[in-house]
Chains A and B, each alone.
Chain A
Amino acid sequence: MSGLGGFYRSSIGKKIVVGATGILLVGFLFVHMLGNLQAFEGPGEHGEPAKLTQYGELLRTEMAVLWAMRLGLLGLLILHVVTTVRLVAENRAARPERYAMARSMKTTFAARTMIFGGVALFAYVVYHILHLTVGAAHRDLFREGDVYGNVVRSFSNPVIATVYVAAMIPVFFHLRHGIQSALRTLGVDHPEHLARIQTAGGALAALITLGFMAVPLGVLFNLIRL
């Protein structure tokens, strides 16, 4: 066993891949969340497009760069998901016969529901892309290029806004366990650092989750309007 293939075939290698891609995806989420918050800048004045829409245009200045980023993200996501699926299969196979009575001592809800959170998150991402990137989910509400308008129109519908807010709950749990778990997998082994990382990981998870929830809630409560 040697080289990259060997690394990836090993259990720890796969864990490191999941952890590293996870951390990069968290980085993307954080930036995405910051970008979203520009919705609070409002619809734009003096005939200018909204800040959020401008930001959308900025991203589209060089389509090649955008597609490179999209493909990169897609690659990360696929690697993250496919590797996780393989790990989960291996972990399940490692205990073919279950205990009649098993009690957990230390594990958390977040840790035990990682895979469910991941699946929910994946479903949400597909819907989110179809909704606000492709525009296929709710054609009546979508206008190509009007990022701000699409957001406000969609979230004025309480059902859509609720879906978006609710989707952030699994995101929170997934990140709360995921961020610190990834860092441990990547080798943070000092007990004191570990404790700090667990706290910081939880805080970051909460920050990202609240940041994302802020926009649909803002629309719903009329803080953001057309």
Chain B
Amino acid sequence: MKLDAKIPGGPIETKWDRHRFDMKLVNPANKRKFSVIVVGTGLAGASAAASMAELGYQVSAFCFQDSPRRAHSIAAQGGINAAKNYQNDGDSIWRLFYDTVKGGDYRAREANVYRLAQSSVQIIDQCVAQGVPFAREYGGLLANRSFGGAQVSRTFYARGQTGQQLLLGAYQALARQIGLGRVTMHPRTEMLDLVVIDGQARGIVVRDLVSGEIRSHAADVVVLATGGYSNIFYLSTNAKGCNVTAIWRAHRRGAGFANPCFTQIHPTCIPVAGEHQSKLTLMSESLRNDGRIWVPKKAGDSRPADQIPDAERDYYLERRYPAFGNLVPRDVASRAAKERCDSGFGVGPTKLGVFLDFRDAIKRLSEPVVADRYGNLFQMYEQITGENPYKVPMRIFPAPHYTMGGLWVDYNLMSTIPGLHVLGEANFSDHGANRLGASALMQGLADGYFVIPYTIGHYLASTPIPKVDTGHAEFKRVEAEANARNRSLLAIKGKRTVDSFHRELGRLMWDNVGMSRNRADLEKTLARVPELREEFWKNVAVEGSADDLNQSLEKAGRVADFFEFGELITRDALERAESCGGHFREEFQTEDGEARRDDENFCHSTVWEWQGPGKAPVQHREPLSFEYVKPSQRSYK
């Protein structure tokens, strides 16, 4: 596997401009002769499919949900960053670039991040033109708020539903192209495998989730925008359907998987209530703008929050990080909460929780102002917990939320398989070891609206692509494999449900490959995952048939892939003997408990190459060089 990031030369400010000029173009009349498959219709997939169809390519788009509008991007609450500097507070493309590289703990590719910061400006323009109802000031101009990890107000938002509004904008652009006949949409269709012919990605094998039919789709180029893999932890803030299958299957067909151990644990989620729990609910991190996080100073203090006087409260983020206070980046905030709970200061029935208190904000701003800013979040919290956060402080605890790792891509967003492009959370490119708040939406849309429409043309114009259709023997072979896999899952007729296996895997991963990790636990996990996987393949109970709508079978296929992937993520965490961003190895920390990076040995992205079932994957490295933002100990003090 050769890793050529294809980063253009020259100063960072002009790399993308020059690259756009250097790239080959496809003649407008020829564009309709090229076919593109886009898998996933979240921010990245929908924006990519719509933009490429606008250019004239023949696009086929796929999603497992019943409508492209339901992809999980819709659940992003807080906002989207853009270096507009509308607030005149010193923001710039350069500062957004700097913050993102630093926030990612110096494990992202500088050139990609700079392009991301450049594109951020256009994204806001595009979305407003589509009718996205961003929050506005009384004068009619766009409003901004600040977000974790930044000292400027550059976050654009639409109440607590920014992801929804941006996704609906992209969905509507996609719907327009579907209506015009330029995109063929396949909802309730799940990608089960990638088809590679003569070294090029040439199509996918899918299952029609209604009829159960396995079928193939061929194209000149394949784009995966299938999101992240936080659901390996079973309990996460992801939607129930989010899964690793598409990128895992692509990995098995030869795509390098980069930095799988870079997972983000979000600090402000509603704590687990019991065994029945099927998912965790995020409370937007924007709550940290006005809410103050604290635990009692006395361990095991079980007085109600309002009876604990200020002097006996430990506002530990404000104490430890006076400069950023409650607005430290997510990884720092999550670890600090875990540290307090591990030391016995946790609150709530499980003692796995800290307070997020709006008492002072309500005093300072009045209840209606707080309600205007966070009303829907407060309502959601009350619905789930039965507690009123205007009166009682919220209880929060970190939960798996986002995965920075993903398929390795070059500057053109192409994986190690020619023709296979990967966008959004599914790739590894821009966030390094930790993602800043309000940057996921930015990256998804930058990739889809402003990067892939250019780079795909370059690939198509500069690569000979022979004609292939789904009658090709390789399609038939991959279809047969997918069929056989489903039949064997149904034939096991074991005793344990898919969910019980998923819960056990999730628990194992959360305890050992979660917020903090150590060699002994990782080694134990690396041995345990294959045992559990073996039991799964012997004892899982999947009812129903393969020729029908069968949600158990869908889940079983996804969990089976999580079992394979679990090994890779653990191996990667073990291999990376340093702490950086969301990856915290207990052996590598400073005296005051902060992550200690090892730039000498680990200033690279680790890229894994599949070697076949049961064989250890081969490790490759893409060295990272920092010419513009010099790595330093990240400090938010």
Q: Is there direct touching of A and B in the complex, by C-beta distance under 8 Å?
A: no
Residues of B within 8 A of A (CB): none
Residues of A within 8 A of B (CB): none
